[in-house]
Structure 1
Amino acid sequence: MIDLLLVHGTVITMDKDRRILQDGAVAINNGRIVAVDTTERLMGKFEAQKVLDCSHQCILPGLIDVHGHGGHSMFKTIAMENIDFWMPIMTNTYKHFVTDDFWYYEGKLSALERLKAGITTGVSVLGSMPRSDDPIFAINHAKAYAEVGVREVVCTGPCNPPWPHLFSRWVDGKRVTKEVTYEEVIKGAEAVIEALNHANHDKTRAFITPFVIVTSVDPSSPTSPARLYGLTEHDRYQAKKIREIARKYNTRIHSDAFGGMIHLAIQDKENALLGPDVHLQHCRGISFDEAKILAETGTNVSASPGFTQVHARTPIIELLELGATVAISTDGTSPSTSFDLFQAMRKTQFIHQAALRDEYYLPPGKLLEMVTIDAAKCIGWDDDLGSLEVGKKADVITVNLNQPHLTPEFMHVHRLVYQAVGNDVEHTIVDGKLIMEGRKVLNVDEGTILNDANEEARSTIKRAGLEKYMQPTKYFWGHARAYVDEKRYNEEDYDFTMQN
């Protein structure tokens, strides 16, 4: 007697042969896949405690979102009219105006959204710049994901200089601000890894995550070659510390990178934050020689679609042709993106086809690989995740095709990539456990999560004074272009430094 049997679906395995089985079935026992075959064969072979009839559904591996942010789910669309200042506004909020409990309530909301969009594994960088002055934030976030039942990779580490930094905690409703050194945030990040890496029956992992791989250049955009002056002492010190932590705890490195950083990083070959154990998000505006370095060092890359790709594209096509592993991420959920990897696939395809003026780039099969098996490789979890194969963890989703926008039922991968959305996910299984059935979440009370999130978000917005960034401008309605026409953001009000 096995635990669970999914039958009568179209199984998209994502195995090495990329098999697609019509009237297929997946057998699950003790959290792992024990067979993938036709319904006729598996129904004749197994008896199951529960049988799920997946007629008119695709059965595929759970989607893997290799980069998103813890915290952002509470602030969706806030400061969109002031997008130039969005990063300092949010960073200041995370540094000074969120409570310890905020991370738990936001984690619940974040995990719930990912779950309902078919994401069974999600990477969460704590805050906009990662915050690690105390491990409680990551621990609360991971606790929330564990209760919802979604796998999480918690990412935290040092933000950028100058040091020391001011951080605030809220004790009995009062703000307590403390000056924190670089060494203290490193210790905080280590405490997170000690507490969370491989925790929750290995549904939780923790990676060491400096904000960027080189701190002395623009941290959010490519840097001109004319301003690449070589690595600073702090750049070298941080790379050495991050490498030491990764080795000490046998964990992986996750960070952001932009044009110019890879050219600089490779100058310290011994400690460069590059290689098979490193996953870099964005990589916008990198040069072709930098793309070659990433491919040659086996560094994993992910990118999310968005307007900034118009200014400085991640060379996904070139990286793939050079043999690099590249995944699509959401970078969700704020300021204007969701945790919907189906939409992210389509946006990614459109951006790169438009940039290269060639609509044949990134076929649907490649796009689906980039949110399943390639995504698993990016985070070093492809031994257990990313495909439906015997022996792998049973992270499985089904997508309901019995809807007008997904009918007729043929060319199933095309249908998923071009027409499906996150809300079309019908069932979600993580570690062999059914945690959403017929779009009803089973582990937690969805209404309670939403109510708690609304209450915590409103109190945080009030505490941080974010109401002014929620107001539409006079150009909101009836105008072709938006203007703010008022000074909402005053730099002196914010404890935030983007660069040295």
Structure 2
Amino acid sequence: MKTLISNALVIPMTKEGYSLRTDIGIDGTHIAFVGKAEPSFHPDHIIDASSLLAMPALVNAHTHLSMGLMRNYKDDLPTLQEWLAEIFPIEDQLTERDILLASRLGIVESIQSGVTTIADMYFNQHSTAQAIIEGGIRASIGITLFGDLQQSKERVKKSEALLRSFRSHPESRIQFDYAPHAIYTCPKETYQYAHDLAKEHGALLHTHLSETRKEVEDSVQEFNATPLAYLKELGCLDDIRLLLAHCVHLCDEELEILKEVDATIVHNPSSNAKLSSGLAPVSKFLEHGLNVALGTDGASSNNNLNLFEEMHVASLIGRVYTPTNTKLSPYQVLGMATTNGAKALGLDHRIGRLEAGMEADILLVDLHKSHLTPLNDPFSALVYSAQASDVDTLFCQGRMLMQHRKVLSLSVEDVLHDANACWTDVLSRKRG
């Protein structure tokens, strides 16, 4: 299947400030060219993109896809700890089918927001993987570890067949990482086990880190070290790639530690603000040369999976809360949601830029909107003005997942109906 995206305003994310009016050719799963179409390219489908902006599809580098079931539920509690005390009992009720239906809901929301790639951390990974395959997006799915070493080994064992099947397909849209939840839910043996597995399989270690001041204070009291320093003492930072969610309360010494390892900080500004966790010093991260990606966290603590909104909030906070002289530019924020996210997941050789040879993960933004007129600076417009609802068309690996706002890979009406029925059933089980 060959597709020609004709006469688009293209932001390839290859160079700061660079945009051009040109064509994009898609041949199968990959981008054939970005430039004037050659006469020898015979497309099966042509998209007139004269009123559209083409850019790399977005990467949500930290989320809990299935937590959309708990959207707007018990979310006015003052602290993360009090909120989790309400959420954990609900999660204990969830079945594999619940996770499947909730994952489909999160995938629809992601597609409608221009996201083709997520890094997920949750339970019952078989169900999430099935939903990812159905929905047509790509994912780095965390084998979530929670509790002591024996419990963690049982979780990994349950996923062994699934892991083997996907590791045999290096071009798959699904990869797996190891995701010890946090230092307050996992003992040192669990972290060391996760580290060893990540090292053995060349996988990410994905974890929450220094999300709240209380987490840091408790770590210092219990381990006589901050959370990152504690993980360093355990040897859990060495020789692996790290995906560290939140990192709101890192100190300067910890930033120096991160400079020496292969780590990405995932900034979740809306969740951090809503849960009163604090404001992450992103300008400090950037001045230390650290890779910073963007995430939504779960839809129960955000309360959506809208990465356009995250770009907007991150940009605003990044211009007000500036503990250094660095203020976030629109291009930097777009990079967090595209190129940096791809790098974080080890996919930067496949996605994150619009160039010949890259896989065709492309979103088309409808510019024919009052809030995008006049356009003037497209980078500024995408970060400060654009809405998720402006995403017109979305491709993942060359497959069109949405066209003119109609999701093609899943039935939206069925997904919404099933999610509502599922939540009613979960609450009934909880009361029973």
TM-score, structure 1 length as denominator?
Answer: 0.78
**Match for 1:157 among 119, 138, 144?**
144
**Match for 1:146 among 125, 133, 139?**
133
Q: What's the counterpart of residue 390 of structure 2? A: 424
SS in 2 for 1:71: helix
1:319-343 deviation per Cα after TM superposition (whole angstroms, max 9, x unaligned): 1111110111111311332111111
Amino acid at match of 1:64: V
SS in 1 for 2:236: coil
Q: What's the counterpart of residue 203 of structure 1? A: 173
Amino acid at match of 1:418: Y
Checking the alignment, whether the CA contact within 8 Å between 2:62 and 2:119 is kept in structure 1 is: yes
**Match for 1:109 among 105, 111, 118?**
105
Separation in 1, partners of 2:166, 2:427: 29
Separation in 2, partners of 1:307, 1:352: 15
Q: Which moved more, 1:8-17 or 1:49-58?
A: 8-17
Q: CA offset at residue 152 of structure 1?
A: 1.6
Change (3 A) 1:327 1:17: same
TM-score, structure 2 length as denominator?
Answer: 0.89
Confirm or deny that 1:94 pairs with 2:91: yes
Q: What's the counterpart of residue 223 of structure 2? A: none
Separation in 1, partners of 2:161, 2:241: 20
Q: CA offset at residue 403 of structure 1?
A: 0.9
Checking the alignment, whether the CA contact within 8 Å between 1:275 and 1:294 is kept in structure 2 is: no
Q: What's the counterpart of residue 190 of structure 2? A: 238
SS in 1 for 2:283: helix
Q: Computing the radius of gyration over CA atoms, which structure comes out larger, 1 or 2?
A: 1
SS in 2 for 1:81: coil
Give runs of aligned pairs for residues 9-158 of structure 1, distance below 5 A: 9-16=8-15, 19-22=18-21, 24-37=22-35, 41-42=36-37, 44-82=39-77, 84=79, 85-95=82-92, 97-126=93-122, 131=123, 137-158=124-145
Separation in 2, partners of 1:81, 1:355: 24
Q: What's the counterpart of residue 347 of structure 1? A: 313
What is the aligned residue count? 414
Checking the alignment, whether the CA contact within 8 Å between 1:31 and 1:393 is kept in structure 2 is: yes
Q: Provide structure 1 residue ranges, at least 5 long, that are not aligned to the other structure.
A: 132-136, 165-180, 220-231, 467-500
Q: CA offset at residue 306 of structure 1?
A: 3.2
Change (3 A) 1:18 1:191: farther
Q: CA offset at residue 186 of structure 1?
A: 3.6
Q: CA RMSD in A?
A: 2.4
Separation in 2, partners of 1:209, 1:248: 15
Checking the alignment, whether the CA contact within 8 Å between 2:121 and 2:144 is kept in structure 1 is: no
Separation in 1, partners of 2:60, 2:377: 24
Confirm or deny that 1:326 pairs with 2:283: no
Checking the alignment, whether the CA contact within 8 Å between 1:66 and 1:329 is kept in structure 2 is: yes
Checking the alignment, whether the CA contact within 8 Å between 1:72 and 1:332 is kept in structure 2 is: yes
Q: CA offset at residue 81 of structure 1?
A: 3.1
Q: Which moved more, 1:188-197 or 1:150-159?
A: 188-197
SS in 2 for 1:104: helix
Checking the alignment, whether the CA contact within 8 Å between 1:274 and 1:299 is kept in structure 2 is: no
Q: CA offset at residue 160 of structure 1?
A: 3.6
Checking the alignment, whether the CA contact within 8 Å between 1:327 and 1:370 is kept in structure 2 is: yes
**Match for 2:352 among 369, 386, 397?**
386
Checking the alignment, whether the CA contact within 8 Å between 2:139 and 2:175 is kept in structure 1 is: yes
Q: What's the counterpart of residue 172 of structure 1? A: none
SS in 2 for 1:306: helix
Q: CA offset at residue 192 of structure 1?
A: 4.5
Give runs of aligned pairs for residues 440-479 of structure 1, distance below 5 A: 440-465=406-431
Q: CA offset at residue 115 of structure 1?
A: 0.4
Separation in 2, partners of 1:207, 1:425: 29
SS in 2 for 1:67: strand
Q: CA offset at residue 75 of structure 1?
A: 1.2
Change (3 A) 1:36 1:362: same
Q: Provide structure 2 residue ranges, at least 5 long, that are not aligned to the other structure.
A: 211-215, 217-225
Checking the alignment, whether the CA contact within 8 Å between 1:280 and 1:301 is kept in structure 2 is: yes
Separation in 1, partners of 2:167, 2:300: 26
Separation in 2, partners of 1:239, 1:360: 34
